Structure 1
Amino acid sequence: MPALSFIVSMSVYMLLLYLFLEFTREKQGFYKWFFILALLTIPLWFLNLHSWFRWAKSISVLIPICFVSFVRIANDGSKKDFLPSLKKKWPLWILYVVLMLNIAEATKTDFELGNYFNAIAGVILCITIPLPTKHWRIAKNDGKRNFGELIADLPLAWCLLYVTWNACFVYAENTSYIASSICILIIPEIWMLSKKRTDLWLMGRIYTLALHILIRSSYDIFTPLMDSTNWFNASVLNIWGIVNCVLHVAYLGYWFFKLRNKDYVIKHSAQNYELQGA
């Protein structure tokens, strides 16, 4: 496939994804009904999904995204009596578990494919996800910038490591889709930087992934438009996995040191407070 075909098709797809993020951020009616109606495409999945991983991926992405929509509506401040139970912390724990399970699904497949170094990187990503207790929330609608946004204070380094880990996984699992996967991995980065809001990365990621999975589950338009099968190279995959593993291990060390240092500061402050009180 000529390079120009990739440039045009990937550019058009990325523009579509960017506009999709804008609509799902601001238009409540759009992001609520779009994914509910999308579930009506399930009969088409039987024609296009041919492995347990594809079924697990479709179900674990498209059903939770409907849940995300209702959590956002319940917390945007426009409807005080709408599903009050969704205003509590437990929905954020559900989303945290869904994120971890999606990484775990791919990590399991990496192990099965022998892509061990990248699989180790996936395990580290699961370990270092910030907990929802302090780092996740739904922003209320202030009439100007916030639209019931799903906010997650994920470190920029974690987001970038996720991108290179996920791209390597797709490269190993099905290289023919790596071109389209690059699109859905890059756009959340571009979107959050254009908003100057790194805390929007997770919302950008889950919505672009959901649209991508919906399209792939219903009808494969990516093979004729962006078939990147010929991009595969075993040496590239091996080196990529090793580099990912090294970067993720380094991040794990940084994360552990920062966590330990934080615990030390808290403990030290508490001891000083007790001494002052005495």
Structure 2
Amino acid sequence: MNITIWPHVITMPIYFIVLIFIVAFFRKHYKLAAYFWIASLFTFPLWILGGVEGWFRWAKILSVILPTIIVGFSRIAVYENKKGKIWDFLKSEQFLWFFYAILFLNIMEATIKDATMGNYFNAATGFLLCVTIPFAPKFWKITTEKHGDLIAYTTASWNFLYTTWNACFVYAESPVYFASSLTILLAAELYPLMKGRPELYITARVYTLAAHLLLRASFDIFPMTMDSSSWYNPEVLKTWGMINFILIVPYVFWHMWQLQTGKAEKSFRRQRAA
């Protein structure tokens, strides 16, 4: 099998740096983040010209961009302590369940697709990731400090398991896009570690995924710049899924033990506030 990797040595690091900048920019400019993603919806003519076809692709793009818009306005509501019926709803603790549900559905969607492709061990991993998402509102919040970050107290281990699970899913579902998808996953994985704050993982994942899907819909340059279809190997896929499942099983027991013993308050939050 002829595996081509040399172009990716250039394109993947460049894309990674751009994504890190995007996350940092939208974290800092919380108002612009909300308005930018509203404006992004008006690029839909480019989506049509770019070949976005079928309800599934449209639903996938909108199911990411619309919640990203809501994240932006929730950040404004909390950080600026906005008053009014809608603002109060957006900054209520109970509304944090919305973000939990979006994450749950995002994982479950890929999990079901994994199962239909016969990638059963990775599908089981996705299901267990859903089981171990820290509950809202206890382990979710939007801060009033700095830029009104969306905080989810996922652990560093959960973040890693999500990254390797999702990478395995993309490897099976869209090999041509695996390199670019791996880059956005690594950006979301490493940005919180660079900041020493694993609780920023969901924020980084929100903005990297939304930027990636918008770029793919408007100007799909990835088949030309990061085509990784030659990397696909069914044996690698099978082994990868099994490894993911083996890794997550002890994590599930640890997660449940933390909740059962009441240690989660400290272990999930790493004994400090955001």
TM-score for both structures, normalised by structure 2: 0.89
Cα distance, 1:246 vs structure 2: 1.2
User: Match of 2:269?
Assistant: none
Range 246-255 or range 201-210, more displaced? 246-255
Equivalent of residue 65 in structure 1, options 64, 68, 73: 68
Contact 1:57 1:102 in 2 (8 A): no
Aligned to 1:36: 38
Identify the residue that residue 135 of structure 1 maps to in structure 2: 139
Distance in 2, matches of 1:94 and 1:121, equals: 23
Q: Which residue of 2 aligns with 1:105?
A: 109
Kindly report which structure 2 residues correspond to 1:114-193, keeping only aligned pairs within 5 A, or say none. 114-141=118-145, 146-193=146-193
C-alpha displacement at 1:51, in angstroms?
Answer: 4.8
Mark the CA change 1:14 to 1:162 in structure 2 (over 3 Å): closer, same or farther.
Answer: same
Structure ID, larger Rg: 1
Residues 48 and 216 in structure 1, CA contact (< 8 A), matched pair in contact too: no
**After TM superposition, where is structure 1 displaced by more than 6 Å over at least 4 residues in a row?**
none
Identity across matched positions, percent = 42
Q: 2: CA distance between counterparts of 1:204 and 1:96?
A: 15
**Is the CA contact 1:138–1:151 (under 8 Å) kept in the aligned structure 2?**
yes
SS in 2 for 1:134: coil
* Cα distance in structure 2, aligned partners of 1:122 and 1:59: 22
The CA deviation string for residues 13-59 of structure 1, in whole angstroms up to 9 with x for no partner, is 11110111111011134212211111112233345334554333212
CA shift, 1:161, in A, is: 0.3
Paired with 2:165 and 2:253, the residues of 1 have a C-alpha distance of 17
Please say if 1:74 is aligned against 2:70: no
Choose which of 20, 23, 35 in structure 1 pairs with 2:22: 20
The structure-2 alpha-carbon separation of the partners of 1:84 and 1:257, relative to structure 1 and needing over 3 Å to count, comes to closer
Contact 1:32-1:66 within 8 A present in 2 as well? yes
- Please give the secondary structure, in 2, of the residue aligned with 1:132: coil
More helix, by proportion: 1
Of 172-181 and 51-60, deviating more is 51-60
1:194 Cα deviation from its structure 2 partner: 1.7
- Once the two structures are TM-superposed, the CA of residue 79 in structure 1 deviates from its matched residue by 4.4
Q: Tell me if structure 1 keeps the 8 A contact 2:33–2:72.
A: yes
CA distance in 2, matches of 1:112, 1:148: 39
Q: How does 1:216-231 map to 2 (within 5 A)?
A: 216-231=216-231
Figure out how many residues of one structure are paired with residues of the other and give that number. 259
Contact 2:4 2:228 in 1 (8 A): no
Distance (Å, rounded) in 1 between the aligned partners of 2:117 and 2:54: 14
Q: By how many angstroms is 1:188 displaced?
A: 1.9
Change (3 A) 1:133 1:32: closer
CA–CA separation in structure 2 for the residues paired with 1:49 and 1:121: 30
After superposition, the C-alpha distances for 1:147-204 in whole angstroms (9 at most, x for unaligned) are 0100111111111000000000000001111100111111122211221111111100
Q: CA deviation at 1:5?
A: 1.4
